Amino acid sequence: MKKSVKNICQNIASMINRFGFMPNGGRIYYSKRSQPPFFASMVYDYYEATQDKEFLKEMLPIIEKELDFWVKNRSVTVVVKNKRIKLCQYRADSNVPRPEAWCRDTHHVKGLTDPSQKAKVWHEIASAAESGWDFSSRWIKEDTEDKKNPWKLINLRTTQIVPVDLNALICGNYRKLSELFSKIDDSGKSASYNETHSEFRKNFVAVFKSDDGMFNDYELDTKKVRKGTYYGSTVVPFFTGCLGDDKDTEKDVTQMFNGLKEHGIFKYTFGVPTSSVLNSAQQWDFPNIWPPMSHMMIETFRRSHSYQMHNYAFDMAQQWLSANYKLYKSCENFMWMKMVAQTGTPGAKGDFHAQVSGS
């Protein structure tokens, strides 16, 4: 698979060179919104597996270019204890219906007459799509008067959220750049990125760590970090390496693990749901399991120094693989993208229906 991974990295690098970022897909109509910045992690993992320094030298300027895009084009300032902190958010350069979802997006605004209000909703939709979490209660203002459907896309407020997972990626990317530049003996850039990571990490903890010990999204409109609701994004700071691997981080991951147990998210037969929000019609909420979130949680627990977390990681991985095999045998095909935590059946809800892969 090493050759395949190298080819994928080169394909993504060509798009970052052209657009400044990795578009939401490999088609021109996706060029107004990005993917989350995982490219540094991809190159880092490839280098760890191959020790290919020449390839690393080619990729490092492209990693920097993608990171520069986020800092220059998706930055937002948060004030915590009178300190101005620069972070990033999802904020697509589009305020029209998504070409690949034109009918759905026009349907979402059918009750609006003001063109500027429609444009605002479409901007929020595109920004949520930039996150990969399209869609989730994470980005929506709850309509408490609508008991049947309180999480409607017309109430999206993606640009009022400073996402914990996005900034964990940015933070982790600074750390990876420091390590990778040291591999090619560029001590100056390595030291510079190490210093940037240390400062970003300190600010990250100040903004995103709530008083219950969990890491959650920061809300610009309330000027508070969200708490009381579980989202899979809470594990991403540990997965990306943003928080490092010292004793304080081990205490943080233990506190996070205990908090997840209190939320009861480990009690489901087939895996961990993406969120604890029960009454959402969106796909990245309960009861759907999302493979990337499962992977990040499993890896976070596997890397810890706790035997209990190691056991949970093993059980979760076995649980997930067994559920997929069982579903494969019942359908004679792999199911795409999502699964229900309680039943192991194809995931429901949201804009995208569960699909059977081609044979």
Give, for all 359 residues of the chain, the pLDDT tens digit: 999 999 999 999 999 999 999 999 999 999 999 999 999 999 999 999 999 999 999 999 999 999 999 999 999 999 999 999 999 999 999 999 999 999 999 999 999 999 999 999 999 999 999 999 999 999 999 999 998 899 999 999 999 999 999 999 999 999 999 999 999 999 999 999 999 999 999 999 999 999 888 999 999 999 999 999 999 999 999 999 999 888 889 999 999 999 999 989 999 988 899 999 998 989 999 999 999 999 999 999 999 999 999 999 999 999 888 888 887 887 766 555 666 776 666 656 666 555 555 44
The pLDDT value recorded for residue 333 is 62
Contact 288, 280 (CB under 8 A): no
Q: Answer yes or no: is 191 within a domain.
A: no
Q: Answer yes or no: is 175 within a domain.
A: no
Chosen domain end from 33, 54, 73 = 73
Residues ≥6 apart with Cβ < 8 Å to 307? none
Q: Phi and psi for 83 in degrees, rounded to 5?
A: -105, 130
Chosen domain end from 41, 73, 105 = 73
Specify the number of domains making up the chain: 2
The pLDDT value recorded for residue 359 is 42
Rg over alpha carbons for the chain, rounded to the nearest Å, is: 20
Contact 252, 235 (CB under 8 A): no
Task: Give residue 3's domain range.
Answer: 1-73
**CA 232: distance to chain centroid?**
9
Q: Answer yes or no: is 105 within a domain.
A: no
Q: Answer yes or no: is 61 within a domain.
A: yes
CB-neighbour burial class of residue 127 (10 A; exposed 0-12, middle 13-18, buried 19+): buried
Q: Answer yes or no: is 276 within a domain.
A: yes
Half-sphere exposure (Cβ direction) of 66: Cα atoms closer than 13 Å:
28
219 bridge partner residues: 161, 224
Q: Answer yes or no: is 85 within a domain.
A: no
Q: Which of 229, 219, 215 is nearest to 300 (CA)?
A: 215
Q: Which of 300, 263, 270 is nearest to 287 (CA)?
A: 270
| pTM, entire model | 0.94
Residue environment code for 301-319, b if the CB has 16+ CB neighbours within 10 A, otherwise e? beebeeeebeebbeebbeb
Q: What is the rounded CA–CA span in Å between residue 314 and residue 305?
A: 14
DSSP 243-309: T-SSHHHHHHHHHHHHHHHHHTTT--TT---SBS--S--STTSTTEE-HHHHHHHHHHHHHSS-HHH
Q: Answer yes or no: is 197 within a domain.
A: no
Chosen domain end from 73, 89, 109 = 73
CB-neighbour burial class of residue 102 (10 A; exposed 0-12, middle 13-18, buried 19+): exposed
Q: Answer yes or no: is 198 within a domain.
A: no
* Residues in the chain, total: 359
